[in-house]
Amino acid sequence: MNVHELLTRRSLAACTAFAGVAAAVLVGHGGLHTVVGCGIANDATPSLTAKDWVTNADHAVVATPVREQDTNRRDFKTGPVQYRTDRTVTLRRDSVLWSSDSPKRALGENFDMTAAGWNVYRSGTRTKRTAAEAPRLEPGHTYLLALRWTDAGWTVLGEGAAVPFDDHTVGQGEWCGRDLSKEDVAMAELFSRSDDHSLEKTLNGQDEAAVTRELKRAVDA
């Protein structure tokens, strides 16, 4: 991620914190850097725009997490954190908005992804592992995802390829472990760069048909 993109995401985080929607969120570091919501973003491939999605992804889908299971537990002998986990999240494929002409793998009705998990403290407190620039992928919420198949399974392209989509509305839903409305995101985007053409910003507040049109426009461009 370049410096301008990083500043944009930090502006978004700062603005939502000011609005009171990101207060008290604990940012987890040291996670799986290729997994959405886990650690510091370091995209291996561009992921922000519709063109990025249709160039680099296998599928663009609407999906809803339906199950989660703690995985990859790491225990610590010292410090306040007793152990840390990831989560294996099973998502239901609600609809496919676009697929590559030659995807690496077909996408089933349900599929698994690794996502940020939990910090469990010696006191017994259990806190979400989150990152300021990404959703956690939580059951009860819906997302737009640009997916690619890797040796480790399904993952998103990067931080721009997992977009809150509750009520089939771009920018509405879970983000960094908190529930945001499209108005919250719109307020934050006022502080982003004028040349930010991310799919999330371009289509904020719009529906599934708008996403499909934007992806088709990117294919035809």
Per-residue pLDDT of 200-218, as tens digits, reads 889 999 999 999 999 999 9
Q: Which residue(s) pair with 155 in the sheet?
A: 148
* Three-state SS at 80: coil
Asked if pLDDT for residue 38 goes beyond 60, the answer is no
Asked if pLDDT for residue 7 goes beyond 80, the answer is no
Please tell me the pTM assigned to this model.
0.79
Whole-number pLDDT of residue 93: 98
Dist. CA 61–CA 193, nearest whole Å: 27
Whole-number pLDDT of residue 181: 82
Q: CA 63, 37, 44, 152: dihedral to nearest 10 degrees? A: -70
Query: What is the pLDDT of the chain when averaged over all its residues?
Result: 81
Share of the chain above pLDDT 70, in %: 74
SS (H, E, C) the chain: CCHHHHHHHHHHHHHHHHCCCCCCCCECCCCCCCCCCCCCCCCCCCCCCHHHHHHHCCEEEEEEEEEEEEEEEEECCCCCEEEEEEEEEEEEEEEEEEECCCCCCCCCCEEEEEEEEEEEECCCCEEECEECCECCCCCCCCEEEEEEEECCEEEECCHHHEEEEHHHCCCEEEECCEEECHHHHHHHHCCCCCCCCCHHHHCCCCCHHHHHHHHHHHHHC
Rounded average pLDDT over 119-134: 88
Asked if pLDDT for residue 14 goes beyond 50, the answer is no
Whole-number pLDDT of residue 185: 67
pLDDT band per the 50, 70, 90 thresholds, residue 147: very high
